[in-house]
Amino acid sequence: MLVTAYFAIIFLLALCVGLELTARRLTPPQSTPTAVANPVFRRFQSIFLRAYLLALWADWLQGPYLYKLYRHYSFLESQIAILYVCGLASCVLFAPFSGWLPQVLGRRQTCLLFCLSYSACCLTKLSRDYFVLIVGRVLGGLSTSLLATTFEAWYVHRHVEVHDFPKEWIPSTFTKAATWNHGLAVGAGLVANLLAEWLHLGPVAPFLLAVPCLACCGWVVLTDWGKEEATESSEGDKQTLLLGTPNGGATRLSARARFSRSCQDGLRCLLSDRRVMLLGGVQALFESVLYIFVFLWTPVLDPHGPPLGIVFSCLMAASMAGSLLYRLATSTRYRLQPGHVLCVAVLMAFFSLFMLTFSTAPGQPRPHESFLAFLLLELACGLYFPAFSFLQGRVIPEEKRASVLAWFRLPLHLLACLGLLALHGEVSGTGGGEGGSGTRHMFGGCAVMMLAALMAVVSLFTLGRNDTDLRLEGTRGEGDMY
C-alpha cells in the first residue's frame, strides 16, 4: 500500500494538471471582467480570502488523522463511532443557531468565536480522557456550522450593503475560494503526513499545527476586517443583516421573528414543490453516505500500513479531478447537462460502494481494491457537488435557499448518525473490530442508500423533462436532453 499511495498521488496530480490545461484551452477567451479590474473590489476580496482560506486550511489539517488519533489512544471502533456521532449531532443542534448568531453578536465577532471554538477543539485532542474528547467533538460541530455560514455572511453583507458592488461579482470570489480549497485539501494531507509520519511527531501533530493557523485567521479578522469595518459610517448597528433597525433590542427581537419565519417559509417551499423535495432527498442520501465514508476509510486501509496523509491527499486530488471533469463535460464543446452529470456521479458512487461490499469481506480484505473504490467515490463527489449546486440554484428560490438547505441538512445528519450508531451496535454486539462484518454490512447499506438516491435523481428529471430551468443556458432549445 505504501508504494501504491505514492504512485497514486503522482498520477492524480498529473491528471489534475492535464485536465486544468485542457479546460482552459476549451474555455473561450473573454475580456477582463470589471470585477477583476476594480482595485477596491480586489482589495476587499483579498482581505476576505486571507482569513477564509486560513480557516479552511485549519479545517483540512484535521481530516487525515482524526480516526488514527483515537485509535492511538486505544479506543475501540464502537467508542470512536460515538465520538463521530457526537460531532454530527452537534452539527444538527448548532446549524440553526449558526445563522442566528451573526445577527446577535455581529458577523466579525462570530468569526472570532469560530477561531476560538475550533482552537479549543484542537487542543482537546491532547487529552486521552473520553469525556474531554466528546467535548472537543461538540466544539468541532459548532465550529463546522459557523465555518459553513458566518464567513460567507460577513462577505455578502459587506459586498452588497456596504460597498454596493454588483451581486454578479459575488460568485467570482467563491469560485476563487473553491479553486484554492481543492489545493489546500491536497496540501493539508501532505503536510499532515510530513508531521505525523515523516517527522514521527504522531497523529496529534496536525491538530496542533491547526491552532496557530486559526490564531492567524483570528488576527486577520480582528485587524484587517476591523479596519475594513471601520470604513463603514454606521458601525453602531453591527447586527443589521437585512432589517435596517438601529435599535439593538428591537433588532434581536426581529432577528428571532425573522429566524422563525424563515424556517416556516423554507419548510413550506420544501413541501409545496416536489422538485425541491426530490433534490433534498438526493442530498440527504448522497451526503450522509459521505459522512459514513469519512469514518470508515481509515479503519479499512490503516491495518495495511499506508501513509494516511498521502491517502487523504489522493482522495482530495480525485475529488479535484471530478470537478475539472465537470467543467469539461459542461463546456461549450461537450455540452452535457448538469442533470446527466449528477446521474453519472450517483451511479459511480453506487458502483464504488458495491465494490467495497466485496473488498472488505471478513478474513479476506483487498486493500488495493478498496483504495480504488474510495478514489472512485471521491471522483463521483467532484462531479456531484457542482452539478447539485447548479440544480439547487435553479430549483430553490434565492430568498428561501438558506432555510431550505437547513432543512435538507437535518435528515442528512440524522441518517449519518443512525448509520454510525448501527455500526456501533453491530460492533459492540459481536465484539468485533475492524476485522468483523460490520464494515461490510455498512457499505452494503450505503450502496442501498445510493441506489435510492439514483432513483430520486431519475424521478426528478422525469418530473422535469420539459423544465428549461434544469438545463444550461446554451442548450435550452434542445428538446431531447431529458
Burial class (CB in 10 A: 0-12, 13-18, 19+), 187: middle
Which one, of 134, 124, 126, lies nearest residue 82 by Cα? 134
- Assigned CATH class of 273-464: mainly alpha
pLDDT digits (tens, 9 = 90+) for 292-301: 999 899 999 9
pTM for the complete prediction?
A: 0.86
Q: How far apart are CA 315 and CA 308, in angstroms?
A: 10
Q: How far apart are CA 276 and CA 84, in angstroms?
A: 29
Helix, strand, coil percentages, rounded to 5, for the chain: 80, 0, 20
Confidence band of 257 (pLDDT split at 50, 70, 90): low
Q: What secondary structure does DSSP assign to 343-411, as a single string?
A: HHHHHHHHHHHHHHHHHT-TT---HHHHHHHHHHHHHHHHHHHHHHHHHHHHHS-GGGHHHHHHHHHHH
- Residue 193 near residue 60 (C-beta atoms within 8 A): no
Confidence band of 449 (pLDDT split at 50, 70, 90): very high
Percent of the chain with pLDDT over 90: 43
pLDDT digits (tens, 9 = 90+) for 453-467: 999 998 887 876 666
pLDDT of residue 407: 75
Q: How far apart are CA 198 and CA 193, in angstroms?
A: 7
Segments making up each domain of the chain, as ranges: 46-169+199-231, 273-464
For residue 249, the tally of other CB atoms under 10 A from its CB is 8
Residue 403 in this model has a pLDDT that exceeds 50: yes
Lowest mean pLDDT among 68-77, 326-335, 418-427: 418-427
Q: At what angle do helices 308-329 and 2-26 cross, to 10 degrees?
A: 20
pLDDT digits (tens, 9 = 90+) for 378-397: 999 999 999 988 888 787 77
What amino acid is encoded at 399 in this protein?
A: E
Q: How far apart are CA 242 and CA 255, in angstroms?
A: 9
Confidence band of 103 (pLDDT split at 50, 70, 90): confident
Residue 235 in this model has a pLDDT that exceeds 60: no
pLDDT of residue 432: 42
Residue 251 in this model has a pLDDT that exceeds 60: no
Which one, of 359, 362, 349, 366, lies nearest residue 438 by Cα? 362
pLDDT of residue 409: 77
What amino acid is encoded at 58 in this protein?
A: A
**Which residues in 58-80 are b (16+ Cβ under 10 Å) and which e?**
bbbbbbbbbbbbbbebebebbbb
Q: How far apart are CA 480 and CA 482, in angstroms?
A: 6
Give the residue-averaged pLDDT of 313-340.
Answer: 90
